[in-house]
Chain A
Amino acid sequence: MRKFEKYINDHLHSLRRTIQVGTVLLIVTIPLLNKIGFHAVSGTFYSLSIGELDIVDPALALQTILLTKSIYLPLLIAIVIPILIAVFFGKVFCSWVCPYNFLAEFSEKLRRKIKPPATYRNRNPKPQYYWLIFGIILMLLIITGVPVITLISMPGLITSQIADGLFYNVVGIEILLVVILLVLELFVASRFWCKYACPVGATLAVVRSKHALKIKYEPGNCAKCSEKTENPCNKACPINLNPRLAGIYPYCHNCFECVDRCRDIGCQALSITFK
């Protein structure tokens, strides 16, 4: 068990990249298989079917309940798996699976190449902002009756456009929304979408339990890199959080880049734990 834990802790980055690339392959393969008549797996990140098992994005289930003001039992059953994952592992969907995050990570890398930030953040934003934005989105949903979450769900938008593109060779203009957000993140506000605005991630953050997988910082083991240069763990965070300070949740989506970087430089101050 110890050995397994050590392996996971030491290979977080490559494990995550493998899953991200696997996801991209999956969202291209599913429509192609469907097109040739193989229907065992179908769907997008709005809702996925594996055989008879339906999985629905919990944010969309929440939206349907708020819009129709009624509860449809199969829909509740369909969100059990993603909810359980979020309860035990936090927002891992965002960092390990979501195709928008995958794109945004590269745009952030590009951003830092073009214009390296003068300082990396030393404070973490207050969680109130996160809940405020999610609250505004939900209010908008209830007042207008428009399925707002569906329209701005990046993982759903990307996968469904890929599906439409492969199925009927048409891609809708709504794919521009993804491009616009990426450009905004590149030139205006770095990683604002995943960090503050995304309702899909926010729903997962709501159900994340206190004992979910999290990043643990042990000051005793820390080599205090900051005293010499910029902190490697700060720098590693794709959404500009400081893992050595409290309050990285609900923003942190457990990509564990900071842990990976910390281990790379031979330090053991950061690790992942359920406790």
Chain B
Amino acid sequence: MLLEWLGKLTYLQDPLRPPGAVEEDEFLQRCIRCRKCEEVCPYYSIKSAHGEWGLKMGTPFISPRDIPCYLCDDFPCIDSCPTNALEPVESKEDIRMGIAVIDKTLCFAYNGIMCRACFDRCPIYREAITLEQELYPVVHEDKCVGCGICEHVCPTEQTSITMLSSHKVIS
């Protein structure tokens, strides 16, 4: 009963985690909520969860519509992590924070307005997002790192490209 209730608290939200984050179950156990990744991030992308996140409180997350992850060359956040909750990555292409999903009902390009904001700004250029018939953006799940830059630059009022976190509680 108590465990079930505690479990529910941890399921509240599935946030985008900083680069290199291990699988969510493991992450929640390794992360000691020290805030160092938040403090060293040069773009102020990493924020920390609070009490309303239940037992995920204190863990770092990125809300890309405000500030996405700009994929630094040296990943100071990974470097600052004392418990290996953020594991070192070889290159930015290896990161899997989430996957971008396009809402075709909102997207300008799919509604006859010329727009290539997400395609132009994608850091995995011409690989994670390509243009079909030179017009329609398509996300390639095997290439997308989940940085959220596309979500940040999307010009529609309600973003038409959203990041789906790859960090969900599995157990």
Contact indicator B39/A68 (Cβ below 8 Å) = no
Using A67-B29, A150-B58, A172-B50 as known contacts, say yes or no to A72 and B35 having CB atoms under 8 A apart: no
Contact indicator B3/A144 (Cβ below 8 Å) = yes
The interface size of chain B toward A, counting residues with CB under 8 Å, comes to: 31
Contact indicator B52/A173 (Cβ below 8 Å) = yes
The verdict on B138 contacting chain A, using a C-beta distance below 8 Å, is no
Contact indicator A49/B36 (Cβ below 8 Å) = yes
Q: For B32, what are the chain A residues with a Cβ–Cβ distance below 8 Å?
A: 46-47, 56-57, 60, 63-64, 147, 150, 156
List the B residue with the shortest CB-CB distance to A64.
Answer: B83
List B residues 1-56 near A (Cβ within 8 Å): 3, 6, 26, 28-36, 38-40, 42, 44, 47-52, 55
The verdict on A43 contacting chain B, using a C-beta distance below 8 Å, is yes
Contact indicator A147/B83 (Cβ below 8 Å) = no
Q: For A72, what are the chain B residues with a Cβ–Cβ distance below 8 Å?
A: 83-84
Q: For A172, what are the chain B residues with a Cβ–Cβ distance below 8 Å?
A: 49-52, 57-58
The verdict on B155 contacting chain A, using a C-beta distance below 8 Å, is no
Q: For B58, what are the chain A residues with a Cβ–Cβ distance below 8 Å?
A: 150-151, 160, 172, 174
The verdict on A5 contacting chain B, using a C-beta distance below 8 Å, is no
List the A residue with the shortest CB-CB distance to B50.
Answer: A172
The CA of A154 and the CA of B148, in the complex, are separated in Å by: 34
Contact indicator B82/A146 (Cβ below 8 Å) = no
The verdict on A212 contacting chain B, using a C-beta distance below 8 Å, is no
The CA of A246 and the CA of B58, in the complex, are separated in Å by: 41
Using A160-B34, A174-B50 as known contacts, say yes or no to A75 and B76 having CB atoms under 8 A apart: no
Q: For B55, what are the chain A residues with a Cβ–Cβ distance below 8 Å?
A: 146, 151
The interface size of chain A toward B, counting residues with CB under 8 Å, comes to: 41
B-contact bits for A32-49, CB 8 A (1 contact / 0 none): 001001010011101101
Q: For B35, what are the chain A residues with a Cβ–Cβ distance below 8 Å?
A: 43-44, 46, 160, 163-164
The verdict on A24 contacting chain B, using a C-beta distance below 8 Å, is no
The CA of A141 and the CA of B31, in the complex, are separated in Å by: 14
Contact indicator B36/A43 (Cβ below 8 Å) = yes
Nearest-Cβ distance from residue B167 to partner chain A, whole angstroms:
16
Q: For B51, what are the chain A residues with a Cβ–Cβ distance below 8 Å?
A: 172-174, 176
The CA of A46 and the CA of B33, in the complex, are separated in Å by: 7
Nearest-Cβ distance from residue A180 to partner chain B, whole angstroms:
13
Q: For B50, what are the chain A residues with a Cβ–Cβ distance below 8 Å?
A: 164, 170-174
Contact indicator B34/A43 (Cβ below 8 Å) = yes
Q: For B33, what are the chain A residues with a Cβ–Cβ distance below 8 Å?
A: 46, 147, 150, 156, 160
The verdict on B80 contacting chain A, using a C-beta distance below 8 Å, is yes
The CA of A146 and the CA of B56, in the complex, are separated in Å by: 10
Q: For A171, what are the chain B residues with a Cβ–Cβ distance below 8 Å?
A: 50
Nearest-Cβ distance from residue A103 to partner chain B, whole angstroms:
20
The CA of A47 and the CA of B50, in the complex, are separated in Å by: 18
The CA of A54 and the CA of B42, in the complex, are separated in Å by: 19
List the B residue with the shortest CB-CB distance to A43.
Answer: B36
Q: For A57, what are the chain B residues with a Cβ–Cβ distance below 8 Å?
A: 32
List B residues 54-84 near A (Cβ within 8 Å): 55, 57-58, 76, 80, 82-84
Interface-centre pick from A75, A78, A147 (highest chain B CB count, 10 A): A147
Question: What are 8 residue pairs bridging A and B, where the CB atoms are less than 8 Å apart in the complex?
Answer: A39-B39, A46-B35, A47-B36, A49-B36, A49-B82, A68-B30, A72-B84, A167-B38
- 9 pairs of A and B residues whose beta carbons are closest in the complex: A172-B50, A173-B51, A47-B34, A46-B34, A67-B29, A34-B39, A42-B39, A174-B51, A60-B32
